[in-house]
Amino acid sequence: MDNEKLALLGGPKTIASPFRRYNPIGKEELDAAQSVIESGVLSKFIGAWNEDFYGGPKVKEFERQCEHYFGVKHAVTVNSWTSGLIAAVGAIGIEPGDEVIVSPWTMCASATAILCWNAIPVFADIEPDTFCLDPASVEANITPYTKAIMAVDIFGHSANMDALLDIADRHGLKVISDTAQAPGAFYKGKYAGTLAHVGGYSLNYHKHIHTGEGGILVTDDDEIAERLRLIRNHAEAVVAGKGVADLSNMVGYNFRLGEIECAIGIEQLKKLQGYVASRQKAAEKLSAGLQGLKGLRTPVVEPDCTHAYYVYPMVLDVDTVPRARIIEALAAEGVTGLAAGYANLHLLPMYQKKIAYGSKGFPWTSDICHRNVSYEKGICPVAEHLHESSYIGFAMCMHELTDEDVALIVKSFRKVWQNLESLV
Ligand SMILES: *Cc1c(COP(=O)(O)O)cnc(C)c1O
């Protein structure tokens, strides 16, 4: 059976039917949404300084439950994690032109949240094992203008928080955790996202748990929490009534999450650990099954950490067959959801051309920008090499995998590896 011809070359396909679509939404969420609709109160927020400034009953209930769940002093809901990142950068006291060090290996919003306050994203390289910020590269990118580090817990594994917090401590920097892809993952006994000055999670449709769109900010800092809540809800209109002394970055938005979403979020939070556990189980079976395939590295989990497997990340080191050809062969066997490469944000046109606000290069060409920050190819060699030639991601987030599915994925990989020479 294993010596059968590859499906790509006309042989039989290993996986006959597509994997089941991941769907964490069920009856509990339906009932929760229905009761909010029946109440007629779909959002209770008011953008003025009164008792509803912090939202309605479901917003408050969901936030208190998130605080309890993640073990933090404050949870603040927002209408997307992009909104959450923007609020986080504004809340930590950024000045225009300040530099924030961020990973290039992430969803674009991690870096645009920095630009939103006219601060300057500086891309540091990543670690080849965890794909998260490399502390040595972060340290090498610090200048007198650096104000913060945006640590992204990519694919479901925490960044090296001990090292990053130590750097932040020594240089007087704030740390933001973008834990959109790693809710429920642990770093040394604490939930990923909770070790930074401010962190949080996405609740968009593709994430482990979701409310359609949404996000949760977490922090132990009272002042940051209050600034997050102000930025969420038209800060400029209420700072006088509330007696806010620090007006910096109090240009507010409407980042409010509705009552229906929060009612759904309450049910979703109860299911998070179960969904994370089932992905861990599938990933462990995959890793065991893929052992011994030459030139294929399965995911690395650092000591005292757990992986939430938004993506199951692999690294390829096969000289004879190009990555694209191997993915093509796996896809032909029925392994859907494989991606060649991920992101190199510094290579996006916006950074290459340095055009963000207007057409004249603001903020980079402005006086607020202290120096000529480089986004040239070559500044992040590890991320660039992984993206160009060696990284393969399997989107665990798209599928609900049974034991049989996992066995068939393993079988497909083994079949392709046994027939690599036929792909040359
Ligand atoms: C999904 C995601 C975001 C953005 O979250 P939204 O809720 O879609 O706005 C930001 N960063 C990372 C790493 C993500 O995966």
Domain that includes residue 187, residue range: 27-268
Band of residue 4 on the pLDDT scale cut at 50, 70, 90: confident
Q: How are beta strands 174-178 and 146-152 bridged, if at all?
A: parallel
Residue 422 lies in a domain: no
Residue 72 lies in a domain: yes
Residue 337 lies in a domain: no
CB under 6 Å to ligand 1: residues? Answer: 80-82, 106-107, 109-110, 152, 178, 180-181, 202, 204, 215
Query: From ligand 1's centre to the CA of 370, what distance in Å?
Result: 29
pLDDT at 421 over 80: yes
Structural domains of the chain, count: 1
pLDDT at 242 over 90: yes
Give the Cα separation of 315 and 182 in Å (integer).
Answer: 20
Residue 354 lies in a domain: no
Residue 147 lies in a domain: yes
Residue 107 lies in a domain: yes
CATH number, domain containing residue 105: 3.40.640.10
Give the Cα separation of 42 and 57 in Å (integer).
Answer: 10
Predicted confidence (pLDDT) per residue in 134-145, tens digit:
999 999 999 999
Predicted confidence (pLDDT) per residue in 43-71, tens digit:
999 999 999 999 999 999 999 999 999 99
pLDDT at 2 over 60: no
Mutate to test the pocket of ligand 1, among 203, 204, 310 (most ligand atoms within 8 A of CB): 204
Residue 363 lies in a domain: no
Distances (CA, A) of 216 to 75, 211, 261, 388: 6, 11, 12, 33
Band of residue 127 on the pLDDT scale cut at 50, 70, 90: very high
Predicted confidence (pLDDT) per residue in 266-311, tens digit:
999 999 999 999 999 999 999 999 999 999 999 999 999 999 999 9
Predicted confidence (pLDDT) per residue in 316-358, tens digit:
999 999 999 999 999 999 999 999 999 999 999 999 999 999 9
Residue 308 lies in a domain: no
Percent of the chain residues topping a pLDDT of 90: 99
Q: Are 210 and 203 in contact (CB under 8 A)?
A: yes
